[in-house]
Chains A and B, each alone.
Chain A
Amino acid sequence: MAEFNIRSDSVDVTRIMEQIRERIREKRGADYTEQQIHELATVKLESFLDPGQVRSDLVEHFRQLDPPGRIDPIPPWPVTAPPPEVFDFDQETIYVSSRGPMGKLIRLIRKLLNPLLKLFFNPTPVVFALSRQAEINAWTVQLLQRQTDVIERVSTQFERVGKKFAAREELDVLNYEVLNNLVVEMTRLSVDVKNHKMLVESVAGRLDFSERRSRALESVVQKRSPRPPDATETEGESADASATGSGRTRRRRRRSRRRPGGAADGGTNAAPSTAGNGSAEATTASTPSSEATSADVPSGEATTTVAASGEAAHEVASGEAIATVAPSDVTTPVAAATPSPASTAPNSAADAAPTDPPPAIAPAPIAAPSPTPAAAPTADSTEPSRPDADNGTSEQ
């Protein structure tokens, strides 16, 4: 995380908050927030999921389902008072009195006056209607009582159903949560899978490139190490001898390569190479080499050696070229043996060098050994020269 530049008296909280919010926005660009994951889960899932396996509108469909309305429980029957008593009405009812012993007298008087009453109106139909009404009332009360019982039973059953329904509603909510979480997690996983697929493709591409590069490097090494058979034959030197001392030859080759500094010291003996492999050592030597002997010519500096099969080497110099042909003197330019970042690139000069045909080699007398040809290290050398790494000694 980026550190804030802080001076104790110059902290600006508003600016820090802006930086933090900017950082959060940047993170959101690379990673998905919970909110974005939810948004992704609510939109097209075909982009992330197999549409044949999962319905893309699963969550939306669930949301659009008609939510069941809340079921209000049936209120209990509002019983404010006991039902009214059924009033029995018969023909005598209109004459009775509730005044005890006096009531009997009153009833008798009313009976006696009944004919007189009938002079004014006929009470018989009224009595009949009222008595029928009493019967109807009694029947209605019974009916209502039955209905009340039925309603109570229905209410009891309805409450049971309501409880089941409420439990089902809670279960639906849980189901929805589970479904929603499932879809969100699937979306998240799908995004992760996509990211990982892209990552795998990227790694595979890099691996492929690395393999091709390593093969190219191997081919460079292979092309450099074997010596063309005709070169040894042209030389006419002892291939048999080199066969016995090949390991030594390689060692000598490395040692002699470490003496490019000798060119600086013994530059007068160096000769520019025309058959070089493009290495820096070959091109930098420009000292005339008319007086040079093969022993005085440091490898890799004024001479360019084309090694072949480790059995013979040709030191080629331009002009008054001196060619030293001795297996023990085989040298390899450092630049060719050790690939630099530039040399590892395809089509570099180092790669092209081994493919160059060896130039015509003029036989030359074996030079006398130099006393200390590689005593001084060159500018390019990173290791001190060794006294025994002398071309001449091997020839002796």
Chain B
Amino acid sequence: MKLAVVVQRYGADLNGGAELHARYIAEHLARHAQVEVLTTCARDYITWRNELDPGPDVVNDVPVRRFPVSRERDVDDFGQRSTQVFERRHSVAAELAWLRSEGPTSPALVNHLRHHRADYDYCIFFSFRYYHAYHGLRVTAGRSLLVPTAERDPALGLRIFAGSFRSVRALMYNSYEERALINAVSQNDSVPGVVVGIGSEVPTDPQPDRFRQVTGIAGPTIIYVGRIDENKGCRELFEYFRRYARIAPALTLVLIGKPMMPIPEHPQIRHLGFVSDQEKFDAMAAADLLVMPSYYESLSMVTLEAWALGRPVLANGRCDVLAGQCARSNAGLYYDSFEEFAETLHTILSQSALRRALGANGRSYFNTHYAWPVIERKYLNMLDQLERADQSDDDRPEPLPGWLGRRRRDLPPGRELVDQLPTGPASVTEGTRES
């Protein structure tokens, strides 16, 4: 079986969520099938500037084929078009123009898929919202799988993507909440789908004492790992922690990640910057819990890593995915306000038995659902199911409206549509057909 993994960027040093996800999947599926990665020459997801050489390459023993991006992103143009399709009534043509503006616009990649699609048994696309995924799915409709990595953002409400969700052979979701969102926005109940997620390479023997010796941090500790960004809920986290720290003077908040916003000067907040994986896991093992303040996540790998290390998680309850995962795993608590933040944090920190039980549940949840053998098996089972289904290769994507229909401004704003989607943790039993 030959598989193509199609992703917007690819590299051993690229740590974006979807890109890392794609790399992990490609490397693990390469043990069971012939895998080739099709991607662009870009490294920067803002400009899509061609920084890598086009042509074949090899990354961690996986063959990679890169294609140039025909034009870099014009940020101003992209902003204007985003406003147009997210905030106003618009047309299909406007959405397609927005997609071209967003990029990475690589007709060469799409043409390669069009001409060589017969060379691959299946093409696994990552990130529904990019140019390569939309047009790639249209030229490989009969043999395409999609890992949407969708979250509650206005792009999900665009009409063109609903057709993508309905025309793929299968969907590999990251969470039940993501599946519920996509089902609601596209009514793709007939498309096979499975909640897979992603595993993580977690060391079996992290050294929390080493972390405490190196940093000198003692006493109760909570940790945040990730981009320190307002969009990740860090401003709210800082505010809540400063208030809570007044009654918990021994508690320390450890931050690991690249700061995109000012970090408040506080004696109980320690920013360690960007650290190695070993240091990161040592720190997570030394912490009493991981706090995840993000509002929007399709799948938090850090949360899964914390659970793999047996650490409970305190998540933002306004993120449906995180709250749902905490409830399903029984491995973390969540908060909607400062009062709940203080109560949940105090509950976990003050009750060691509960903390241990949550951590044990997290470890068990990770091993049951997110260990690599489980992930690989889910992918292989889905591919086997598609092969047995004997679907014709001549599947056509949903046709676009005609010239006039594409220019008819009858589509609602994307944000308005997304705001109407169901919220809250999703039920495990609901959703599309499981494989």
Contact = CB atoms under 8 A, between A and B. Distances in A.
Interface in A10-42: 11-14, 16-17, 20-21, 23-24, 27, 33
B351 A13 contact: no
Contacts of B330: 11-13
A12 B350 CA distance: 18
Interface string B360-378: 1100000000000000000
Contacts of B333: 13, 16-17, 20
A7 interface: yes
A21 B344 CA distance: 9
A9 B365 CA distance: 12
B351 A20 contact: no
A364 B122 CA distance: 122
B340 A21 contact: yes
Contacts of A23: 343
A24 B327 contact: no
Contacts of B351: 3-4, 6
Nearest to A4: B354
Contacts, number: 53
B417 interface: no
B357 A1 contact: no
A232 B46 CA distance: 111
B357 A20 contact: no
Interface residues of A, number: 19
Contacts of A6: 351, 353-354, 357
Contacts of B360: 8-9
Given A11-B361, A17-B333, A24 B354 contact: no
B327 A14 contact: yes
B310 to A, nearest CB: 11
B326 interface: yes
Most chain B beta-carbon neighbours within 10 Å: one of A3, A8, A23: A8
Given A8-B356, A20-B343, A23-B343, A1 B350 contact: yes
Contacts of A8: 356-357, 360-361
Contacts of A16: 333, 347, 354
Contacts of B326: 13
B346 interface: yes
Contact of A1 (B332, B339, B344, B346): B346
Contacts of A11: 330, 354, 357-358, 361
A6 B360 CA distance: 12
Contacts of B327: 13-14
Given A8-B357, A17-B344, A20-B333, 16 more contacts: A1-B350, A4-B347, A4-B351, A7-B357, A9-B357, A13-B326, A13-B332, A13-B333, A16-B354, A17-B334, A20-B340, A20-B343, A20-B344, A20-B347, A23-B343, A24-B340
A6 B330 CA distance: 12
B331 interface: yes
A21 B329 CA distance: 20
B334 to A, nearest CB: 7
9 contacts: A1-B350, A6-B353, A7-B357, A9-B357, A9-B360, A12-B330, A13-B326, A13-B329, A13-B330
B233 to A, nearest CB: 19
